[in-house]
Structure 1
Amino acid sequence: MTVRLGQLMHVYPDQYEEYERRHNNLFPEMRQALKEAGAHNYSIFLDKNTGNLFAYLEVDNIEKYNQISNSEACKKWWAHMDSIMDTNQDQSPVTFDLKEVFHLD
Structure 2
Amino acid sequence: MSDEILAFKMQLKPGAVAEYRQRHDDLWPELAEALRGAGIHDYSIFLDEDTLSLFAVLKRKPGYPFDALPLRPVMRRWWDYMAPLMEVEPDNKPRQWPLPSVFHFAG
**Identity of counterpart residues, as a percentage?**
34
- Please report the TM-score for the alignment, with normalisation by the length of structure 1: 0.95
Where structure 2 has 5 or more consecutive residues not aligned to the other structure, the ranges are: none
Separation of aligned partners in 2, 1:62 and 1:11: 32
- What is the number of equivalent residue pairs in this alignment? 105
1:100 aligns with 2:86: no
Scaled by the length of structure 2, what TM-score is found? 0.93
SS in 1 for 2:15: helix
**Cα distance per residue 1:45-97 (max 9 Å; x no partner):** 01111110000010112772121000011001000001010000010000011
Map of 1:69 onto structure 2: 70
Structure 1 residue ranges without an equivalent (≥5): none
Alignment correspondent of 2:9: 8
- Identify, as 1 or 2, the structure richer in helix: 1
Question: For the residues of structure 2 that align with 1:100 and 1:62, how far apart are their CA atoms?
Answer: 22
Runs of 4+ in 1 over 4 A off after TM superposition: none
Aligned-pair Cα RMSD in Å: 1.2
